[in-house]
Amino acid sequence: MQDQATQRDYWLCQLAGWGAMAALGVLSSTTSDWRQMLPFVLGKSFCMVTGLGLSHAWHFHLKRRGWVARPSGIPFGRVLAGLLVLAVLQLGCLLLADLIFRGGALLRDPTAGPLDYAMLLVLGFAVFSVWTLCYAVALARRRAQRAELEKLQLEVSVKDAELRALQFQVNPHFFFNSLNSIRALIYKDAPAAAHAVSQLAGMMRQRLQAGQAGAITLGAEMAAVSAYLGIEKLRFDERLQVHIDVDAALAATPVPPMVVQTLVENAIKHGVERMVAPCEVRISARLGDDGLVRVEVRNQGRLAASSTSTRLGLSNAVQRLALLCGPRAGCELAEEEGWVRATVTLPQGSA
Q: Which of 166, 161, 132 is nearest to 58 (CA)?
A: 132
Residue ranges of the chain that CATH labels 3.30.565.10: 170-347
pLDDT at 228 (0 to 100): 86
The residues, any chain, with a CB within 8 Å of residue 311's CB and separated by 6 or more, are: 333
74-114 pLDDT, tens per residue? 788 888 999 999 999 998 998 898 888 878 777 777 777 78
* Mean local confidence (pLDDT), 293-310: 74
Give CA–CA dist 296/216, Å, rounded.
18
Give CA–CA dist 219/216, Å, rounded.
8
Query: E strand or H helix at 332, and its extent?
Result: strand 330-336
* Mean local confidence (pLDDT), 34-51: 81
* Mean local confidence (pLDDT), 236-248: 89
* Mean local confidence (pLDDT), 137-164: 76
CATH topology of domain 170-347: Heat Shock Protein 90 (3.30.565)
pLDDT at 31 (0 to 100): 60
Q: What is the pTM of this model?
A: 0.51
Which of 48-57, 113-122, 171-180 is the least confident region? 171-180
Given a cut of 90, whether residue 270 has pLDDT beyond it is no
173-189 pLDDT, tens per residue? 677 778 888 888 888 88
pLDDT at 304 (0 to 100): 66
pLDDT at 170 (0 to 100): 53
Give CA–CA dist 345/340, Å, rounded.
16
Q: What percent of the chain has pLDDT over 90?
A: 10
347 forms bridges with which residues in the sheet? 292
302-323 pLDDT, tens per residue? 876 555 455 555 566 666 666 6
pLDDT at 332 (0 to 100): 84
pLDDT at 161 (0 to 100): 64
Which of 166-180, 186-200, 208-222 is the least confident region? 166-180
Give CA–CA dist 308/294, Å, rounded.
24
Contact, 196 vs 185, CB < 8 A?
yes
192-203 pLDDT, tens per residue? 888 888 888 877
The residue among 50 and 168 whose pLDDT is bigger is 50
